[in-house]
Chain A
């Protein structure tokens, strides 16, 4: 450049510039040397883009997935016109904190915590459901106080404002259910109370959102089903997992028969921590968590369970004991069963065989830490397998296996063609579909279905690394599940985890538990409504 400057200072050049075109032809050609290169680049880019699109579209079209759109989260009708719903929370432990957050309430300490890690705005963007937490019931003073502080905190999601209604602490759930100023209750107690409180709530005409599992024995499950069925309440079981947007895609994939005949569904639990094994009586620093006979109403906590002396181990680690829960079956298989049942509508199995033992966490527990349950559905030509370990965290996922393809369903969907598929034989031979990696993946964050084509995309899809949240705000699935329940209360529709689904799940769990305890195969007698 500097050379040129020097060149043009000469006087002849100056006159040349003033009279003739400024630039010589040769110079102009040299100056424009990049332009044709750019042209070739544009042409190649277009070719590559068209090629990729065509390949993607061909896979999607051959699978009939061409028209699937990413679902949008529906907003309910404007909040101001609908009547305020007054909600009571029964049992204010960990799970209830999520419930309160899902309703649009948060404890002041948690607000500070979220401010620090900059996730408060995500939560504040959550829809305002126009509800008020007006009652808290817990047998432990500390938990009840947390609940009151949460309900009395004025911060609300979706630009909502405090209702101004007082928040009352109830000593027993019966007191709360007797109060006409409560419209609906959310139950997050240990499992042995679930059915009893649900039955009482249904009789009192209060809508129910209840955590899993639905019931602790056959008699109360049947009574609960009958009572809820004959009442007008809206019942929702707490299975937030299928609220993930990808479940709608998974439904479509099943409906379009992409997988071929599904004969095996494998569900798993893979944990390897003491917290995961429900040893929760110590805090982060290894010190015992608070609570004593003075601050915990032990009689009420035990309810109809066998009388035992006060025990913090039982209070915090109740999942370990069959008196209060079915362990893995009640806490985690329930989610798996609901996920599969929401997609395939498998209902109650014909028979169940369970097997397992206490092989790693050799404490005073009743529940096995390694467990396998096999649920047979001969009418559907289907086996549902549940394989659980609390001593290894290798991720084994949840897989639907068909003759033509397998679908792994987690926080993302990934479908891999079967090498011996009949349906995809031609495409596999032609190289369009490669059975060694996923052929289609759906990631809720990218907002659309993609046929996986490039090596890196395949790599990321396989490792689940594509599930980052960048543009869309993360939405809490518990909030969506609660929102569905509240929308149904207002519209009279039936929610997804309704009493029918809860009944099917309850029977499946009781069959699996009975099989483990009695070390035999259990069967369902639909005529006499009985497990035999």
Chain B
């Protein structure tokens, strides 16, 4: 366990559990969009307020782009979720997940004066669960959360052995 010298087993375990739980959540978000017939992000984008309103409107008004956004959203969430659970390409998954969630947050931040027609399931002021989840993913990205337990261990070994063969 040379590689974990600087982290205690408890620290490592909590990081891995956090990674898997967020992965589970995003994976299900992705699949639930896949399972709803004709799911579209249009109702979410219509609600968009604050700095991304113009961008959201632009997406809605272009059916082709809207379709692409829907597709990327669904499969992006599935890929990120699966990546986080498996610990495969963890850093890429964590960074893209953090960005995606941050974009969701920017579309409907719970700022004072912004009112949404769709009720939320909690009470928020400036900080929402989406923002917290985004930052949690950023944390996972800056720690080597995939290399403690996950397929990234095999990937890096495979890479290294390949490098050696070439030598």
Q: Which residues of A contact B (CB under 8 A)?
A: 1-5, 7-8, 14, 17, 22-23, 27-28, 30-35, 37-38, 41, 45, 49, 118, 445-448, 450, 456, 459-460, 463, 465, 468, 470-471
- A5 contacts which chain B residues (CB < 8 A)? 156, 160
- Contact assessment for B66 and A3 in the assembled complex, using a CB-CB cutoff below 8 Å: no
What is the interface size of chain B, counting residues whose CB is below 8 A from a CB of the partner?
Answer: 45
- Contact assessment for A45 and B156 in the assembled complex, using a CB-CB cutoff below 8 Å: no
A35 and B156 in contact, given A1-B147, A448-B37 (Cβ under 8 angstroms): no
| Sample (23) of A-B pairs whose CB atoms are under 8 Å apart | A1-B156, A3-B144, A3-B147, A4-B147, A4-B160, A5-B156, A8-B160, A8-B161, A30-B149, A31-B87, A31-B151, A31-B154, A32-B151, A34-B20, A34-B87, A45-B31, A49-B35, A445-B38, A446-B38, A447-B37, A463-B117, A468-B43, A470-B67
- Interface of chain B: mostly helix, strand, loop or mixed: helix
- Contact assessment for B153 and A34 in the assembled complex, using a CB-CB cutoff below 8 Å: no
B101 within 8 A of A: no
Of chain A, the residue at the smallest CB distance from B37 is A446
Of chain B, the residue at the smallest CB distance from A8 is B160
Q: How many A-B residue pairs have CB under 8 A?
A: 101
Distance to closest chain B CB from A2 (angstroms): 8
- Contact assessment for B160 and A460 in the assembled complex, using a CB-CB cutoff below 8 Å: no
- A22 contacts which chain B residues (CB < 8 A)? 157-158, 161
Interface bits B115-155 vs A (CB < 8 Å: 1, else 0): 00111000000000000000000000000101111111110
Interface residues of B in 7-60 (CB under 8 A from A): 16, 20, 23-24, 27-28, 31, 35, 37-38, 40, 42-43
Of chain A, the residue at the smallest CB distance from B148 is A30
- B152 contacts which chain A residues (CB < 8 A)? 1, 31
| Given A4-B3, A4-B156, 18 new contacts (CB under 8 A) | A2-B144, A5-B160, A14-B164, A22-B158, A23-B154, A30-B149, A30-B150, A31-B151, A31-B152, A34-B20, A34-B86, A34-B151, A37-B85, A41-B85, A445-B38, A447-B37, A448-B37, A471-B38
> In the complex, A471→B63 CA distance in Å?
8
- Contact assessment for B42 and A33 in the assembled complex, using a CB-CB cutoff below 8 Å: no
- Contact assessment for B86 and A27 in the assembled complex, using a CB-CB cutoff below 8 Å: no
- Contact assessment for B157 and A8 in the assembled complex, using a CB-CB cutoff below 8 Å: yes
- Contact assessment for A34 and B40 in the assembled complex, using a CB-CB cutoff below 8 Å: no
- Contact assessment for B149 and A7 in the assembled complex, using a CB-CB cutoff below 8 Å: no
- A459 contacts which chain B residues (CB < 8 A)? 118-119
Distance to closest chain A CB from B56 (angstroms): 14
B82 within 8 A of A: yes
> In the complex, A471→B28 CA distance in Å?
24
> In the complex, A49→B88 CA distance in Å?
26
- A30 contacts which chain B residues (CB < 8 A)? 148-150, 153
- Contact assessment for B38 and A23 in the assembled complex, using a CB-CB cutoff below 8 Å: no
